Structure 1
């Protein structure tokens, strides 16, 4: 067990501050966040050029160091060492909360292992901002973030989420939105309610509310711009996978997994595990070496 007293006076190490930044409107920056960015020894930024615009706006002169997914292995030990030497560091992402869809989590884990205080500041978050205005149930919710870019893997991820009763929160880039909605329509059902939240806090902020099919039709007929938060209604009538198994033959279940991009041997292995059968028995059934079970 470890106890962190964030502002204890006898600390020998510095403090890692996790500072959220605006997701669009600079007016959403908090007074405390500005103060911390001015007071720390250095700012670890996901994109130094982007963050410099923010620093210039608030007359913050603190120096930056780049910290992104491509230099994580190098930077984490370096930043931890600076913290151990007593420096205070603020970590910021391009927009919103650090550690969400950026490498900040790796730094947090390293600091926790070294008993270095990690102090989070409250502030802007795209997922929660979208959720509370979506009109869908705000709790409980399940935050997923970005789905896998590979079609087969994305389908597998969505299939695992299809029975969740919680409201689902996703992030998506404009050039992938139509394909993602297509997969959601096929797996969640075209009639499932959803909301597209576009350009949050910016001049062209927009909420599109309707069924997944209606949103897919919109994405098909319109030019898609801006970053999106996709809020999807939870499943009001989830199926029990164990109850559904007898309704589908072994062969059909293997075929269904293969259709999502799974390799035949991997699909056979999964079905065997789900049904509590031997892999060789499922293999034989699928390849018609013996009667289906």
Structure 2
């Protein structure tokens, strides 16, 4: 083989060898590209997944933020509501307290006004009463005194009027009693009964009560007022008039019981009289009356 052929064969082999190397490089490059593409594809998928996860996390954080905001708003709103409610209740309580104080003040004012009016009326009546005292109209003053005693007068006024009435009442009561006794002596029994009752109105428990009740009973018996006569004679016995004034008291009372058809009481009272006065003329009459009543 010539040198040229040898060089050509060597060049051909070199060309074939270079072509094979180039083919391998191409294959390696293609494989590398495929790997790179796969890697890029995988990376893109990972990036997409990461993006999706980030998006979900973002929405979660946003939702959490919204929820937190709503909770804060609710708490703050509740706080404002309770503060407002508390303030409103405080205002209502103050309003009610003021209303009560106003009502109390009105009642006190009305009471003071009423008391002032009563005091003026009392002073007017007291002045009129004092006028009666100065004019010497004692009987009329004593008659009016019970109404004066109920007035809201001062302690000094009350004591002065009471003392005057006590002093003059005893005097006027006895004066009326004495007038009644004169009327009995004159057989003016109606006038006597009026005077005795007038005396009792001024003094219900005088020292001369036994005599007053006895003669009042006699006057009413003479007038035919037997019910009143019975009460008066019973009061006379309570005051020992049958011992102090007249021993015939029980006899007269028994006769009054007869007039009232109270036979049992009449018989018992006649017997009491006979026991106390057995030998008197009226004792004989009493025995006859007992027989008549017990038939």
Question: TM-score w.r.t. structure 2 length?
Answer: 0.22
* Larger CA Rg, structure 1 vs 2: 2
Question: TM-score w.r.t. structure 1 length?
Answer: 0.22
Which one has a larger percent strand, Structure 1 or Structure 2?
A: 1
Q: Relative contact order: is structure 1 or structure 2 higher (C-alpha 8 Å, sep ≥ 6)?
A: 1
Which one has a larger percent helix, Structure 1 or Structure 2?
A: 2
